[in-house]
């Protein structure tokens, strides 16, 4: 007989700007007013791409978890589809925080943010903007657009230029966005074409996933100038950086330099690639460290009996 999980998952949505974000809320059973961690994914990814695996483990440890999908992606609202706006995604994080505070069954005074890859960069930015939070986790975080562009290589970057120009023209005309792959094979035009990028996305996309391997090309210019790592030095509360030693997308040396500027930063390093963090032994190592960190910062209680 299968033992039921020690938490309840419900489908929720919350208002963000002119539309809504779809999310899963995991509430630990029998825990009164649990602390909360908000989870956001990486570049173009949606919550069903293994955010549930992390959220389930947090909820089993007594920490409620809100895993959401950004506007314009997956089953969240927003038009046009596949538009990646850094400004709008950061607003989605703000909206998620505001939503948690409306929930009487959650303790909004004990809240953390958790982001992976591009979402890890957002988690740094959001943590700097919300000093009322208790903690943050930045997993294989995107910290510097210029450093990532250098890792991609100038030739590969130039290959994306025609699509960027077409998409910018479409934006001016009010037409449908011109798309570019998020991940592709080495040598192909894409935002990421490291050898492990396309297999990495495929490995974490379950059957029936809402993920689409494309995005409006205009975001490439915004990514180049986005440097969330610079905000690490302004984060006063604890933040955990989980860094891949062999990261092909977010260069680890630059990430470590930024992480060391965080006044209460903690750094964990792993001999696993950027896309390995979501599965198998690397996932188990990560979740063990993240649970230890979040338990220390959020002080969850064990399940209690009703009075």
pLDDT tens track for 138-151: 999 999 998 877 76
DSSP letter at 299 equals -
SS (H, E, C) 137-152: EEECCCCCHHHHHHHH
Q: Are 267 and 256 in contact (CB under 8 A)?
A: yes
Tallying the residues shown for the chain, one arrives at 307
As beta bridge partners, residue 7 has 28
Give the C-alpha separation, 303 to 214, whole Å: 43
Determine what percent of the chain is predicted with pLDDT higher than 70. Answer: 95
- What value, to the nearest 5°, has the Cα angle with vertex 99 and ends 241 and 243? 10
Mean of pLDDT values over 56-75: 98
CATH node for 7-152+228-298:
3.40.50.1820
Question: Does the structure show a pLDDT above 60 at 245?
Answer: yes
Least confident of 30-34, 155-159, 172-176, 180-184: 155-159
Token digits of residue 225: 């100038």
b/e per residue 138-147 (b: at least 16 CB within 10 A): bbbbbbbbeb
pTM, rounded to two decimals: 0.94
Mean of pLDDT values over 185-196: 89
Query: How many CB atoms lie under 10 A from the CB of residue 213?
Result: 17
> What is the residue extent of each domain of the chain?
7-152+228-298
Torsion of CA 84, 278, 15, 214, to 10 degrees: 30
Cα separation values, 70 from 21, 147, 237, 240, Å? 6, 25, 25, 23
Residue identified by tokens 């992390």 is 54
Question: If 0-12 CB within 10 Å is exposed, 13-18 middle and 19+ buried, where does residue 129 land?
Answer: middle
Find the helix packing angle between 86-102 and 118-129, rounded to 10°: 60
Nearest to 222 by CA among 27, 43, 9: 43
Q: Are 22 and 294 in contact (CB under 8 A)?
A: no
As beta bridge partners, residue 26 has 9, 65
Least confident of 99-103, 135-139, 297-301: 297-301
- Secondary structure (3-state) at 219: helix
- The whole-number pLDDT of residue 158 equals 63
């Amino acid at each position: 007989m299968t033992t039921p999980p020690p938490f309840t998952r419900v489908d929720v949505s919350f208002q963000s700007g002119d539309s809504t974000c779809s999310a899963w809320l995991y509430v630990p059973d029998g825990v009164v007013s649990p602390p909360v961690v908000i989870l956001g994914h990486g570049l173009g990814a949606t919550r069903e791409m293994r955010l549930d695996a992390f959220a389930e483990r947090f909820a089993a440890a007594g920490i409620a978890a809100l895993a959401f999908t950004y506007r314009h992606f997956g089953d969240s609202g927003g038009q046009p589809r596949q538009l990646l706006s850094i400004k709008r995604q950061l607003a989605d994080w703000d909206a998620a925080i505001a939503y948690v505070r409306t929930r009487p069954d959650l303790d909004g005074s004990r809240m953390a943010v958790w982001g992976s890859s591009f979402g890890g960069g957002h988690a740094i930015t959001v943590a700097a903007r919300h000093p009322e939070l208790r903690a943050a986790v930045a997993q294989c975080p995107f910290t510097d657009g210029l450093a990532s562009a250098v890792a991609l290589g100038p030739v590969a970057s130039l290959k994306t230029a025609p699509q960027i120009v077409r998409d910018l023209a479409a934006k001016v005309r009010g037409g449908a966005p011109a798309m570019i792959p998020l991940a592709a094979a080495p040598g192909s035009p894409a935002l990421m074409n490291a050898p492990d990028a396309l297999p990495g996305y495929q490995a974490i996309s379950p059957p029936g996933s809402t993920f689409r391997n494309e995005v409006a090309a205009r975001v490439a210019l915004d990514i180049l100038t986005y440097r969330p790592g610079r905000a690490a030095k302004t984060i006063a509360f604890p933040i955990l950086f989980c860094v891949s030693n062999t990261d092909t997308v977010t260069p680890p040396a630059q990430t470590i330099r930024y992480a060391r500027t965080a006044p209460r930063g903690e750094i964990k390093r792993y001999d696993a690639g950027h896309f390995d963090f979501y599965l198998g032994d690397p996932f188990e190592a990560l979740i063990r460290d993240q649970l230890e960190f979040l338990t220390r910062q959020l002080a969850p209680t064990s399940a209690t009996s009703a009075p």
